[in-house]
Chains A and B, each alone.
Chain A
């Protein structure tokens, strides 16, 4: 078992950062999603063994959260969101220092630092001062210091923050490889839904200190039989006009002939083709459009808001 939390709560005075969190996660690539103030940071601190919970028990990789602070952090590679760099140091020195802090000897740490930096394509920048690194290089360097002792678990906080699209793709590729090919359990905390979509096979959504949902992304996202993606060729204006008259909502037009539509009850797909033939438009693609992670996230947050409104009304009456 990767993470097992039972009724974990954490309060700071009157502020309840986490409330009765129950979480059971198998090893894998897991995304931690939640708006600001949801309790992600507190949960990560608890998982790192840096902050004891106010109540509840938990285990991470069979280490008891209450007692195994140091042993727990040895099994985890943590990549902070902040730069957390030490100006004046060279890249190789910085990663080797991380190795020494994890408990490696200086020689081992230096050797391993060079190995990891080479794997992360930073071999040319090993002897450059950290303040000369670009944002993408800094992010890879932070990943290198988390990987230096080859931990079974990686806790990553916004690993693609501030990166350009190419750098972001590269970083996400690395994370997928680490999880898929090297068996690392990954807990990825990010605001970027695309990152989780790309890397993770399970997601935990936190809101106001509570877990709203958890599980494999494809199981949590609803299959929707009323939404389609249409790929059209030809002048679609009159075709779309007729669709609207038939009660179809055009949800999104990407400007390149691809449309997301929501159809009314009783609609059959044949109707798309009939109308297309009528207006001399070619339907080059038609596929059902299931709920994606972004929609899942918004739906879960909305449902949670509605539930709390109901409970407030219940208390008032």
Chain B
């Protein structure tokens, strides 16, 4: 039988509510990382990273072998080298490397998040554990931020962190990659900036993905709660909207602004903008303006935040 004979009062300082964001995120991440399926998806992402990582060495090896082979066959090695570099430009550490890396990883992230949404957020409402959180001395925004932080950590672990490793790999290989902005132009090995601007672009692209996907996931997971409906919503947002946009713009030759309904296109377009791509170099063509894509993403994020505010405000914490 329980007895409070040894119950002791507690005295101590309380932290600000902002400190509660990390425990909320930590618990969500713990649940995510305890599932084998997500480790499987993370491993898929890691395979992609390994392809880029060791692909850079493959490119270097191919370049070194090419000179020897060209001399043997009496051909001009510089033309062949240019051809090889053009074909394998996604491995040379330039803007193309990171653009393709983020694009491929993005696909895996979208699949992972659509599967993990109910676990990270939806289950709180199914199990009524949101009452546990919201009855504590935190505001609903601390709760939402905690959930967004958990999603952002997953996104960062799958995109920015490996992208930084790739960046570091190229920087350690050739120090001028890190210090010389015009590295690619001077070496005739690719396009776009190198050095700190490229590093900032990588961080910015990761931040864009984290902020947008985390707010979108928390909002849609709070709305749908269960895994299957959430998958359908994310398929509509990222797959069907893309197909529809392509049909409208490429097939029916509607205005390029119809491509704005494709949220993933807007994200990658802005990401490419950060990586210093010119507007006319972004595929598929034609594309809307950068500011239009940014406006759509800001609009969607704002709507999601408004929904989150409403949803957590009206929450029944007392049955």
Instruction: List the interface of chain A (C-beta within 8 A of B).
Output: 40-41, 44-45, 48, 50, 69-74, 78, 80-89, 97-98, 100-106, 108, 112, 115-116, 118-122, 140, 145, 148-150, 157, 170, 173-174, 177-178, 181-182
B129 with A84: CB separation less than 8 A: yes
Separation of A108 and B31 alpha carbons in the complex (Å): 23
Q: State whether the Cβ of B132 lies closer than 8 Å to any Cβ in chain A.
A: yes
Tell whether, in the assembled complex, residue A150 and residue B135 are in contact, meaning their CB atoms are under 8 Å apart: no
**B39: Cβ under 8 A from any A Cβ:** no
Q: Name the segment of B7-15, B84-92, B243-251 touching the other chain.
A: B7-15
Indicate the member of A45, A69, A84 with the most B CB atoms within 10 Å: A84
CB of B278 within 8 Å of the partner chain: no
Known contacts A41-B319, A45-B318, A81-B319, A100 near B20 by CB under 8 Å:
yes
- Given A84-B131, A101-B23; A45-B2 close (CB under 8 Å): no
Please determine whether A73 and B4 come into contact, CB atoms closer than 8 angstroms: no
Give the shortest distance, in Å, between B215 (CB) and chain A (any CB). 22
On B, residues with C-beta under 8 Å from A are 1-4, 6-12, 14-17, 19-20, 23-24, 27, 30-31, 34, 123-124, 127-139, 316-319
Q: A87-B127, A88-B34, A182-B9 known; 11 other A-B pairs, CB under 8 Å?
A: A70-B138, A80-B317, A86-B27, A101-B23, A103-B20, A119-B2, A150-B11, A170-B1, A173-B1, A177-B3, A178-B4
Known pairs A150-B9, A177-B3, A182-B4; A105 contacts B15 (CB<8 A):
yes
Partner of A101, one of B2, B7, B128, B138: B138
State whether A82 touches B135 (Cβ < 8 A).
Answer: no
Closest residue of chain B to A106, judged by CB?
A: B23
A86 nearest CB neighbor, chain B only? B129
Docked-complex contact A103 and B318, CB < 8 angstroms:
no
Within 8 Å CB of B1, what residues of A?
121, 170, 173
Selected from A80, A87, A103, A150, the residue in CB contact (under 8 A) with B15 is A103
27 A-B Cβ contacts within 8 A? A41-B319, A45-B318, A50-B135, A69-B139, A70-B17, A71-B137, A74-B14, A78-B135, A80-B131, A81-B318, A83-B128, A84-B130, A87-B127, A88-B30, A88-B31, A98-B136, A102-B137, A103-B20, A103-B137, A104-B14, A105-B15, A119-B7, A145-B132, A149-B10, A150-B9, A173-B2, A182-B9
